[in-house]
């Protein structure tokens, strides 16, 4: 789900870079408000590398196999570091594997990164609900609430990325495709991505429950 070099008009590339610049600036400002912002740099960097590597895991779905995007859980774990982390991950994918590209780095970061930030805010809802109303929630309910949010973060982030990606690429690919064909192509690819979004959501739930059991501090 990366837009390669040369696929979209320059205006889209430039707009992508502008939005990425703005969001990065905002994320960095939020990060610098923390008590010791440098402390989290190694954590964010190694997890960026880990997510990059984890997205290489291929999950067999006969007759083919897919790889996971994981931008929802990146948001949930990395918080505001997720946006720079995704931009860096995309940079390496462009530089090392030629997935995506340098001129489209900005727009690709928007496609993947903004849903990740939204997923972060969605997953954050876990805390206030538990803090404000601790007596209302049994442990069982807390677990279920976390699972629902994890699913929403995982599936929602991927779904939103898929929507932005599909709309950007199909409306910009060629001025000569007629509107009806465009619409059909968008619907068709969204059905495919919908299935993947559900899978990604389930995977995120499993991953979050695993981390919660083994290393809960990672989700703090």
Partner 1 sequence: MKLFLDRYAHLDSPIHRWEQSYKLVGLLGLIFAFAFIQKLVLLPIIIVITSIIFILSGLPLSFLLSRLRYPGLFILAVVIFLPFVAGNTVILSWSWLSLKQEGLLTSLLISVRFFCILTVSLVLFGTAPFLNTMKAIRTLGLPETIVDMTILTYRYLEELGEMLFTMQRAMKLRGFQPKNINRRNLKIFAQLAGSLLIRSYEKSQRVYQAMILRGYGYNLDRLPKKSKQFKAKKQNLLATTVILIIALSLIVAEVLLPENIL
CB–CB of 39/76 below 8 Å? no
Q: Cβ closer to partner 1: 129 or 198?
A: 198
The Cα-based distances of 151 to 26, 37, 104, 197, 209 in angstroms read: 26, 29, 29, 9, 11
Rounded to the nearest angstrom, the gap between the alpha carbon of residue 188 and the centroid of all alpha carbons in its chain is 22
Neighbours of 154 (CB within 10 A): 33
CB of 138 to partner 1, least distance (A): 24
Q: Cβ closer to partner 1: 43 or 144?
A: 43
CB–CB of 113/19 below 8 Å? no
CB of 41 to partner 1, least distance (A): 5
Cis-peptide, bond into residue 63, ω within 30° of zero: yes
CB of 132 to partner 1, least distance (A): 29
Rounded to an integer, what distance in angstroms lies between the CA atom of residue 51 and that of residue 73? 9
Q: Cβ closer to partner 1: 159 or 165?
A: 165
Closest CA relative to residue 105, chosen from 78, 120, 86, 80: 86
CB of 88 to partner 1, least distance (A): 5
CB of 4 to partner 1, least distance (A): 6
Closest CA relative to residue 56, chosen from 82, 103, 89, 100: 89
Site residues, partner 1 (CB under 8 A): 4-7, 9-10, 13, 24, 28, 31, 37-39, 41-54, 56-57, 59-62, 68, 70, 77, 81, 84-85, 87-89, 91-92, 94-99, 101-104, 173-174, 176-177, 181, 199, 202-203, 206-207, 210-211, 214-215, 218
Closest CA relative to residue 128, chosen from 149, 154, 159: 149
Q: Cβ closer to partner 1: 99 or 129?
A: 99
Q: Cβ closer to partner 1: 109 or 160?
A: 109
Q: Cβ closer to partner 1: 6 or 127?
A: 6
């Amino acid at each position: 789900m990366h837009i390669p070099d040369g696929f979209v008009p320059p205006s889209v590339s430039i707009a992508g870079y502008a939005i990425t610049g703005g969001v990065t600036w905002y994320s960095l400002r939020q990060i610098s408000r923390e008590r010791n912002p440098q402390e989290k740099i190694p954590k964010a960097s190694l997890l960026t590398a880990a997510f990059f590597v984890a997205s290489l895991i291929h999950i067999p779905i006969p007759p083919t196999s897919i790889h996971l995007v994981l931008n929802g859980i990146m948001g949930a774990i990395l918080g505001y570091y997720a946006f720079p982390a995704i931009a860096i991950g995309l940079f390496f994918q462009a530089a090392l594997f030629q997935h995506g590209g340098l001129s489209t780095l900005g727009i690709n970061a928007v496609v993947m990164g903004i849903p990740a930030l939204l997923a972060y805010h969605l997953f954050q809802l876990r805390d206030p609900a538990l803090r404000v109303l601790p007596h209302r929630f049994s442990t069982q309910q807390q677990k279920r609430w976390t699972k629902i949010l994890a699913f929403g973060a995982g599936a929602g982030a991927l779904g939103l990325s898929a929507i932005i990606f599909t709309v950007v690429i199909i409306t910009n690919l060629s001025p000569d495709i007629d509107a009806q064909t465009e619409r059909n192509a968008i619907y068709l690819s969204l059905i495919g991505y919908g299935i993947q979004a559900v899978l990604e959501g389930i995977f995120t739930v499993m991953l979050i429950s695993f981390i919660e059991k083994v290393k809960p501090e990672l989700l703090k």
